[in-house]
């Protein structure tokens, strides 16, 4: 169910931004989703299909850029990327401090007409 709520908020934001830009229709909707959010790509697409009809984004293409989490290793102080918060540093095996990079859900841009 996470994805439904996320998509509802995304569509609200997208419609507001599209109207402000004078658009009457959203053709492409680009999002960035961090892997640490636990968002399931298929579920997000399903939510878009379920919620977009009747909005300015009806029929739009959804493009999602998934980005890994970034951690600072407590052992070697190196930066490493991983797909889950359980991750350990590939160099020294120590856990890392989350940087919040990889926990974001953003609406990046819209193509409107």
Partner 1 sequence: MCIECGCGRPGRPKIDGKPAKLTFAPSDRKAPHVFAAHDHEHRTVDVHQSIFAANDRKAAENRALFESRALLVLNVVSSPGSGKTTLVQRTIERLATDVKTGVIVGDLETDNDARRLRTTGAPVVQITTGTLCHLDAEMVARAYAELPSEGLRVLVIENVGNLVCPATFDLGEGLRVALLSVTEGEDKPLKYPPLFSFAQVVVITKKDLAAACEFDREAALASIRRVNPAAKVFEVSSKTGEGMDAWCGFLRETLDGGRET
Q: Considering the rule CB under 8 A, would residue 62 count as an interface residue with partner 1?
A: no
CA distance 8 to 67: 21
**Binding to partner 1 by residue 85, rule CB under 8 A?**
yes
* Three-state DSSP class for residue 70: strand
- 4-23 as b/e, with b when 16 or more CB fall inside 10 Å? eebbeebbeebbebbeeeeb
**Token duo for residue 68:** 């890994």
Q: By CB under 8 A, what part of segment 6-45 binds partner 1?
A: 6, 8-15, 17-18, 21, 23-25, 27, 36, 38
Closest CB to partner 1 among 9 and 91?
Answer: 9
Q: Give the binding site for partner 1 (CB under 8 A).
A: 1-2, 4-6, 8-15, 17-18, 21, 23-25, 27, 36, 38, 51, 54-56, 74, 84-86, 88, 94-98, 100, 103-113
């Amino acid at each position: 169910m996470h994805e439904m709520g996320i998509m509802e908020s995304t569509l609200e934001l997208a419609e507001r931004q599209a109207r402000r830009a004078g658009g009457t229709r959203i053709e492409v909707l680009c999002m960035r989703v961090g892997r640490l959010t636990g968002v399931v790509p298929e579920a997000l697409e399903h939510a878009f299909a379920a919620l977009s009809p009747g909005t300015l984004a009806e029929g739009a293409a959804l493009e999602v850029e998934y980005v890994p989490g970034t951690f600072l290793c407590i052992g070697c102080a190196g930066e490493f990327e991983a797909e889950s918060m359980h991750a350990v540093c590939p160099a020294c095996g120590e856990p890392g401090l989350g940087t919040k990079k990889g926990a974001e859900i953003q609406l990046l841009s819209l193509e409107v007409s």
